[in-house]
Amino acid sequence: MGLARPDTVPGPAPGTPILSLSGVCKSFGALKVADRISFDLPKGQALGIIGPNGAGKSTLFNLITGNLAVDAGTVRLNGRDVTRDSAMSRCAAGIGRSFQIPQPFGSLSVFENVCVAASFGRNLPESAVTDDCITVLRQCGLLHRANLPAAQLSLLERKRLELARAMATVPDLLLLDEIAGGLTEGECQALVDTIRSLHAGGVTIVWIEHVLHALTSVVERLLVLDFGRVLAIGAPDVIMASAEVREIYLGIDV
Amino acid sequence: MQGYVKTATRASRPFVLLLALVVIALALAPLWASRNTLQDLFFILTMLSLAQFWNLLAGYGGLVSIGQQAFVGLGAYAMFGAVILLGIGPIQAILLGGIAALALAIPTAFFAFRLQGAYFAVGTWVVAEVVRLCVSMWQAVGGGSGTSLPRDARDGLIGLDQIMALFSVRGAEARDIILYWLALCVTVATVLGLYAFLRTRSGLALSAVRDNIAAARSVGVRAEGMRWRVFLIAAFGTGIIGALIFLQNGRISPDAAFSVTDWTAFVFFIVIIGGIGTIEGPIIGVLVLFALQSAFAQFGAWYLVMLGLLAIGVTLFAPKGLWGLISARTGLSLFPVRRRLILSDPSEDKP
Ligand SMILES: Nc1ncnc2c1ncn2[C@@H]1O[C@H](COP(=O)(O)OP(=O)(O)OP(=O)(O)O)[C@@H](O)[C@H]1O
Ligand SMILES: [Mg+2]
C-alpha cells in the first residue's frame, strides 16, 4: 500500500529488531501461559506461530500489544522498552493487530470501524483518511458492505474486518491471529495474496495460524509454542521436519 | 478521490428549519404562554437536558450511572451555599454549581472507573448517598431539613426589573421568565453541543469505546481519556441544571436535591422510552413523561409502578425505544451522526 505514517520518528540503529521479547512470563492463576519467552524479530520479516490449542499464542499477542500486562520480562519495539506502555501508545508506535475472536465495533458501520482505526491509529483528521479506508476495504473484500452495521456481518466478514481495521492503522508490525480459518480455498488464496503484498510493502508480520499451507506460503520463519514455552524457532521446512513438532501436530493436517 | 462521506440525510435539512422555528417559538413563549405553561416548559427543558447528559454517559459512553443525583444535588447546594454564604448573585452561582459538580466528578471517576458494569452503577449510587449524607450535615444551608433562597437574592436576579417593566408582570412571574430563558439556553446548548461532539471523530471513537474497549485501544483510541472527558462533561452539565432547577424551586432539601427518583429514575425512563444512544430519543421521551405525569401523577406510587413497567416493556419489546421504532419504519434521522460512504464508482457497491 502506498500509505505512510506522517509522524515518522528518527529510526533506531540499523539492524535493531522491530520486536524483541526477553524473558516474558504470564500466568493465569496456576496456569503458566507464557514461560520465559524470548525472541527477536528483524524488521521486514514474516514470522509464523503455531502450537496446539491453549498453548498461549493469543495470550502472547496480548502481551505484545499491551492488552495484557506481563508478569515479568520486557517487550521492546524498535529497541525501545514498551513493557509498561498502554495498548493505545503501542498502536501509535506501529503495532496493528487482529483479534482471534472478532471484536468489531458492532453499532458502527464497517466503514466507520475502519475509519476510527485509520484516523486514531495514524492521528489524522477523519476527512484525510476516506480514500485510504476505501482502499483497505477493497483489499479486504468488504467495500460492498461499507455502510452495513458491523454487527450484521457474517463470521467470515468479521474476520476480514479485523484485518481491515488493523491494516487501516498502517502498522509497521502486523499481528494476525487465525484469520484464515474457515475460508474456502479461493478466499484463502486471496487472503494469502493480500498478506503477501503487505509483506512485500515492508510490513513486518507475525501470524498465528492453524492452516499451515497458507502460513508456510508466506512466512520466512516459524515459531512453535507449547505450554507457554518456545519449543522451536527457525526456517519452516526445518521446523516442520522436526520429530518433536510432528508429534505435537500429530493428527493435524501438515 | 474514490468516494466521500455523507452524514446528512433527506430529513435532516428541512428539519433544521423546523428546529429553528420551534426554538424561536419557545424563546417567545413568555408572550404566548401562561405562567403554568411556562413552568411546565421549564420542567420539560431541564429534564430533557438532564436526560441528554445521561444519554451521553450511558447511551454513547456505555457508562451506566445511577448516581447522577449526586451532581444535581451538589450543583444545587453549591449554588445555594454561594448565594447564602458568599452573597453571590444566583445566576452567577449557577456556574459555581457546575464547577462544584465537576470537582466531585474527579474523585468519583477515580473510584467508579475501577468498577465494571453493574458495579460501576452501584458505585456511582454509593457516591451520591455519601454526598447526600455529608450535605445533610451542612447546617449553614439548613442541614437535613433544608432551606429557602433568601428573598433579597431572589429579588436581585439580573434583569428582573427590566422583565417586569417589559411584560408588565409581578416579580414572581418575571423570575419564571428569566429562569425559563436560561433553561432554554442550556437545553439548546446541550443538544447542539452534544450533536456537534458526536459528529467529530471523538464522538465516533466514543461509540467505539462503548462497543469494544479493548479493540478501541488497539486502534489507538485513548479509551480512558474518552471516558473521563464524557464523565466530567456530564457532571458539569448536570450540576448546572441542578442549580437552575433549585433556583426555580426557591427551596432545597437533601431529600429533594439528591432524589434518585426525580433525577435518575425519571431520566432513565425518558432515555429508555425515547431511545437510548440517539439525540431524538430523549426529546420524545420527555414529552411522553410529561404527558403521563399530567394524566396520572395523582396516583402517586402506582404512577411510578406504571412508569417502571412501561420502561421494562419497552426494553424487552423495543430496545431502541419509540424513536427506534419510528426511524426503523421511516428511515428518518433528525440529528444524523452516522457516516455513510458514497463511492465514486457505484458499481463497487456490489460484491
Ligand atoms: N484472561 C484469561 N484468564 C484466564 N485464563 C485465560 C485467559 N486468557 C486465556 N486463558 C487461558 O490461557 C490458555 C492459553 O490461551 P490462549 O488463548 O493464549 O491459547 P491459544 O494458543 O491462542 O489457543 P487457540 O489455538 O485455541 O487459540 C488457555 O488455557 C486459556 O483458557
Ligand atoms: Mg488463540
Q: Tell me: the pLDDT tens digits for A106-147?
A: 999 999 999 999 999 999 999 899 999 999 999 888 999 999
Q: What residues of chain A, 44 to 63, have a C-beta less than 8 Å from chain B?
A: none
Q: In which band, very low, low, confident or very high, does the pLDDT at B273 lie, cut at 50, 70 and 90?
A: very high
Model confidence over A52-107: pLDDT tens digits?
A: 888 999 999 999 999 999 999 999 999 899 999 999 899 988 999 999 999 999 99
* SS3 label, residue A171: coil
CATH code for the domain in which residue B309 is found: 1.10.3470
pLDDT at position B305: 87
Half-sphere exposure (Cβ direction) of B170: Cα atoms closer than 13 Å: 2
Q: What are phi and psi for residue A114, nearest 5 degrees? A: -70, -35
Q: In which band, very low, low, confident or very high, does the pLDDT at B222 lie, cut at 50, 70 and 90?
A: very high
- The mean pLDDT of chain A is 88
Is there a contact between A133 and A118 (Cβ–Cβ < 8 Å)? yes
Q: What residues of chain A, 158 to 197, have a C-beta less than 8 Å from chain B?
A: 165-166, 168-169
For the segment A231-248, the average pLDDT, to the nearest whole number, is: 81
| DSSP result, A78-146 | TTEE-TT--HHHHHHTTEEE--SS----TTSBHHHHHHHHHHHHTT--GGGSHHHHHHHHHHTT-GGGT
Rounded to the nearest angstrom, the distance between the alpha carbon of A227 and the centre of ligand 2 is: 13
Q: In which band, very low, low, confident or very high, does the pLDDT at A1 lie, cut at 50, 70 and 90?
A: very low
Rounded to the nearest angstrom, the distance between the alpha carbon of A254 and the centre of ligand 1 is: 23
| Torsion sign, CA atoms A226, A228, A230, A236 | positive
Q: Which helix (DSSP H) or strand (DSSP E) does residue A25 occupy?
A: strand A19-28
Nearest CA in chain B to A126: B201
Strands A46-50, A204-208: pairing kind = parallel
pLDDT at A7 over 70: no
Strand partners, A222: A48, A234
Is there a contact between A167 and A1 (Cβ–Cβ < 8 Å)? yes
pLDDT at position A71: 94
How large is the ipTM? 0.87
Nearest CA in chain B to A141: B351
Rounded to the nearest angstrom, the distance between the alpha carbon of A239 and the centre of ligand 1 is: 24
Cα(B232)–Cα(A236) distance, integer angstroms: 53
What lines the ligand 1 site, CB under 6 Å? A 28, 31, 33, 51, 53-59, 100
Report the number of distinct structural domains present in chain B. Answer: 1
Q: Whose CA is nearest to atom 29 of ligand 1?
A: A54
pTM exceeding 0.80 = yes
Under 8 Å CB pairs connecting chains A and B tally to 121
Residue A136 CB partners (closer than 8 Å, separation 6+): A1, A114, A118, A164, A167, A168
pLDDT at B343 over 80: yes
Cα(A89)–Cα(A121) distance, integer angstroms: 9
| Among the listed residues A188, A133, A179, A138, the one whose alpha carbon sits nearest the alpha carbon of residue A159 | A179
Do residue A143 and residue B348 have CB atoms under 8 angstroms apart? yes
Domains of chain A, start order: 19-94+171-254 (3.40.50.300), 104-170 (no CATH)
Residues with CB under 5 A from ligand 2 (ion): A 57-58, 100
pLDDT at B224 over 50: yes
Note every long-range contact of A1-6, with CB atoms under 8 Å and residues 24 or more positions apart, other chains counting: A1/A135, A1/A136, A1/A139, A1/A167, A1/A170, A1/A197, A1/A198, A1/A201, A3/A132, A3/A135, A3/A170, A4/A170, A5/A94, A5/A122, A5/A170, A5/A172, A6/A122, A6/A123, A6/A124
Residue B80's domain comprises 2-349
Strands A46-50, A221-226: pairing kind = parallel
For the segment A196-201, the average pLDDT, to the nearest whole number, is: 88
* SS3 label, residue A236: helix
B91 interface with A at CB cutoff 8 Å: no
Nearest CA in chain B to A144: B349
